[in-house]
Amino acid sequence: MGFYDDEENVETYVQMAEGYDGRELVAALGQHLPPGSTVLELGMGPGKDLALLAEAFTATGSDRSDIFLRRYRRDHPDADLLLLDAVTLETERCFDAIYSNKVLHHLSVDELRKSLHRQAARLNADGLLLHSFWYGEGTEEHHGLRFTYHTAESLTAVFGSEFEKVACVCYTEIDEGDSLYLLLRRSSQALSVPRANVT
C-alpha cells in the first residue's frame, strides 16, 4: 500500500496543497497545444490542475490512488478518469499531450525512463509532454515517499531520442527557483518504435 492509498494522508495533502495549482504550467502547455486537444494528466491528486486543463482541452485525469479519483468524482460525476500507474501506463488510449505536476519525482530514474518510454507509445503524432519536478540533485525519502530531484541536465539524460526538447524552465512554487518543468515533443523517430517492443 502506498502513501496516497491512506485517506488520512490524502486529506493531509489536500490541506497542504491549498492555495497552490499549476495554472502557469497549463498556460505554458497552451502556448504549444491547440484548444480542444486531448490531454491526459498523471497523478492528478485533488484535481485542481485537471479542472484548469478541462477549461481549454479535452482532459482525462488519472492517479495511482483510487482515493483521489473517488474524491474528484464526487464533485465531477461526468469526469473522464483512469486508475493508472505513471510507470506502466496500462491503457490503450492515445492523447495529444500528457501532463503532470509534481508527480514524477516520486519515481526512480529507471522508473522515469520507463514511464517516458510508455508515454511515447501513448502519444499521438507530434504529441507533447509537460511534467514538473522539484529542482535539485539526489534522492530523499520522507514518510516512505521517494523524492528524486532533477536539473535540466539530469532530465536531458533520461528522455532519449524518442523526444525533442521544446523547453526546460525553472520556476518558483514555494522557495525561489525550487521547481522546473520540462516540455517535450515526441520525435518522428518514436514512430519507428514498434508497440510490441514497449515494455
Give the binding site for ligand SAM (CB under 6 A).
4, 17, 22, 42-46, 49, 63-65, 68, 85-87, 101-103, 106
Q: Which is nearer to ligand SAM, 30 or 134 (CB)?
A: 134
80/76 Cα distance (integer angstroms): 9
51 close to 82: Cβ distance less than 8 angstroms = no
Q: Which is nearer to ligand SAM, 21 or 185 (CB)?
A: 21
Burial of 149 (0-12, 13-18, 19+ CB in 10 A): middle
Minimal distance, residue 79 CB to ligand SAM, in Å: 15
Q: Which is nearer to ligand SAM, 38 or 65 (CB)?
A: 65
Residue nearest to ligand SAM (CB): 45
Minimal distance, residue 132 CB to ligand SAM, in Å: 8
Q: Which is nearer to ligand SAM, 38 or 62 (CB)?
A: 62
DSSP 2-61: -GGGSHHHHHHHHHHTTT---HHHHHHHHTTS-TT-EEEESS-TT-HHHHHHHHHSEEEE
Q: Which is nearer to ligand SAM, 46 or 127 (CB)?
A: 46
Quickly tell me which residue has 479535452 as its cell: 58
**Residues 6 or more apart in contact with residue 92 via CB below 8 angstroms:** none
